[in-house]
Amino acid sequence: MKALFERAAKRFRRSSLQVMLTVSFTCITALALLAFGLSYHVRSTDLTRDRIGEDNIRIVGQVNYSFDSYLRSMMRVSDTMYYTVIKNTDLDQSSLTEEMNLLYEANHDQLISIAVFDSAGRLQAAVPQSTVKPGLDPAEQRWFTDALGRIENFHFSQPHVQNLFLSPDETHHWVVSLSRAVELTRSGQSEQGVLLVDMDFSGLEQICSSSGLGENGYLYIVDNTGDIIYHPNQQLIHAGLYAENNLAAAFYEEGNRVEDFGGEERMVTVKAIGYTGWKLVGVMPMSDIESAFAPNWVFPVLIILLIILLMGAANTFLSSRIAVPIKNLESAVNVIEEGDLTTPIPIGGSYEVRRLGGAIRSMAAQLRRLMDDIVREQEQKRRNELEVLQSQINPHFLYNTLDSIIWMIENQEYSDAISMVTSLARLFRISLSKGRNVITLGSELDHARSYLTIQQMRYKDKFIVRDQSDPALNELACLKLIVQPLLENAIYHGLEFMVDGEGELTIRTAREEEDLIIEVSDNGPGIPYALQQQLLTPDFEKNSKTGGRARKGYGLYNVHERIRLTYGAPYGLTILSEPDCGTTVRIRLPALPFDAGQGGETP
Partner 1 sequence: MKKRTFSVRLAFVLSVIVLVIGIVLSLRSQPPTPVREISLILHEKTTAGDVMLQAGAQRAAEEYKVDLSVITLSETGAADEQCRLTERETAGGAQAIVLSAADRTGMGDAVTACREANVPLLTITSGCDEEVDAHLSADQTEMGKKLAFEVMKRDGQKAVATIVRSAARRTGLDERLAGLIEVLTTCNVEYEVVDASNQDVAGYGFRNRLRQRGTTSVIALDLPELELLCSAQTGDTFSVYGFDTSSAVLAALDSEKIEALCVADDFSLGFLAVQTACALLDEKTPPEALIPFTLVDHDTMYDAQNQWLLFSLQR
* C-beta neighbour count of 515 within 10 angstroms: 15
Distances (CA, A) of 328 to 114, 353, 487: 101, 11, 60
Which of 9, 28, 47, 236 touches partner 1 by CB under 8 A? 236
The reply to whether 313 sits near partner 1 by the rule CB under 8 A is: yes
Which of 1, 3, 4, 239 touches partner 1 by CB under 8 A? 239
Distances (CA, A) of 478 to 53, 472, 520, 563: 102, 14, 15, 9
Give the range of 8-16, 297-305, 443-451, 469-477 binding partner 1 by CB under 8 A: 297-305
Q: Name the minimum Å distance from CB 301 to partner 1.
A: 9
Exposed, middle or buried, 352 (CB in 10 Å: 0-12/13-18/19+)? exposed
Closest CA to 209 of 201, 200, 218: 218
The reply to whether 9 sits near partner 1 by the rule CB under 8 A is: no
Site size for partner 1, by CB under 8 A? 32
Integer Cα distance of 516 and 130 in angstroms: 150
From residue 491 to residue 510, the character string flagging contacts with partner 1 as x (rule: CB under 8 A) and all else as - is --------------------
Which of 145, 233, 380, 534 touches partner 1 by CB under 8 A? 233
Helix (H, G, I), strand (E, B) or coil at 579: coil
Closest CA to 476 of 445, 507, 498, 450: 445
Which of 8, 9, 47, 306 touches partner 1 by CB under 8 A? 306
The reply to whether 202 sits near partner 1 by the rule CB under 8 A is: yes
Give the range of 31-39, 307-315, 446-454, 529-537 binding partner 1 by CB under 8 A: 307-315
Nearer to partner 1, 234 or 584 (CB): 234
Contact between 529 and 547 (Cβ < 8 Å): no
Looking at the DSSP bridge assignments, the partners of residue 118 are: 193
Distances (CA, A) of 422 to 286, 440, 442, 447: 121, 20, 17, 12
The reply to whether 298 sits near partner 1 by the rule CB under 8 A is: yes
- Length in residues, the chain: 603
The reply to whether 303 sits near partner 1 by the rule CB under 8 A is: yes
Helix (H, G, I), strand (E, B) or coil at 413: coil
Nearer to partner 1, 309 or 365 (CB): 309
Nearer to partner 1, 159 or 503 (CB): 159
Which of 305, 365, 418, 464 touches partner 1 by CB under 8 A? 305
Nearer to partner 1, 239 or 472 (CB): 239
Give the range of 89-97, 200-208, 247-255, 547-555 binding partner 1 by CB under 8 A: 200-208
The reply to whether 547 sits near partner 1 by the rule CB under 8 A is: no
The reply to whether 241 sits near partner 1 by the rule CB under 8 A is: yes
| SS3 track for 196-244 | EEEEEHHHHHHHHHCCCCCCCCEEEEECCCCCEEECCCHHHHHHCCCCC
Give the range of 23-31, 42-50, 146-154, 233-241 binding partner 1 by CB under 8 A: 233-241
Which of 262, 295, 548, 570 touches partner 1 by CB under 8 A? 295
The reply to whether 302 sits near partner 1 by the rule CB under 8 A is: yes
Residue 460: HSE in the Cβ half-sphere, 13 Å Cα cutoff: 3
Nearer to partner 1, 169 or 337 (CB): 169
Q: Name the minimum Å distance from CB 200 to partner 1.
A: 10
Q: Name the minimum Å distance from CB 188 to partner 1.
A: 38
Nearer to partner 1, 174 or 540 (CB): 174
Nearer to partner 1, 201 or 571 (CB): 201
The reply to whether 406 sits near partner 1 by the rule CB under 8 A is: no
Integer Cα distance of 306 and 81 in angstroms: 73
Helix (H, G, I), strand (E, B) or coil at 547: coil
Nearer to partner 1, 184 or 204 (CB): 204
**Near partner 1 in 108-167, by CB under 8 A:** 133, 158, 160-161, 163, 167
Nearer to partner 1, 124 or 179 (CB): 179
Pairing outcome for strands 503-512 and 463-468: parallel
Q: Name the minimum Å distance from CB 232 to partner 1.
A: 9
The reply to whether 205 sits near partner 1 by the rule CB under 8 A is: yes
Nearer to partner 1, 37 or 442 (CB): 37
Q: Name the minimum Å distance from CB 226 to partner 1.
A: 14
Integer Cα distance of 396 and 389 in angstroms: 14
Which of 11, 41, 58, 238 touches partner 1 by CB under 8 A? 238
Q: Name the minimum Å distance from CB 131 to partner 1.
A: 12
Integer Cα distance of 360 and 343 in angstroms: 11
Q: Name the minimum Å distance from CB 153 to partner 1.
A: 22
Looking at the DSSP bridge assignments, the partners of residue 504 are: 464
Integer Cα distance of 100 and 130 in angstroms: 12
Integer Cα distance of 452 and 487 in angstroms: 8
Distances (CA, A) of 8 to 1, 15, 58, 596: 10, 10, 56, 58
Nearer to partner 1, 317 or 529 (CB): 317
Q: Name the minimum Å distance from CB 308 to partner 1.
A: 10
Integer Cα distance of 529 and 576 in angstroms: 9
Q: Write 416-419 long-range contacts (CB < 8 A, 24+).
A: 416/457, 419/453, 419/457
From residue 168 to residue 187, the character string flagging contacts with partner 1 as x (rule: CB under 8 A) and all else as - is --xxx-x-------------
523 CA to centre of own chain: 80
Distances (CA, A) of 418 to 402, 408, 415, 426: 11, 9, 5, 12
Q: Name the minimum Å distance from CB 228 to partner 1.
A: 11
The residues binding partner 1 (CB under 8 A) are 133, 158, 160-161, 163, 167, 170-172, 174, 201-202, 205, 233-236, 238-241, 295-296, 298-299, 302-303, 305-306, 309-310, 313
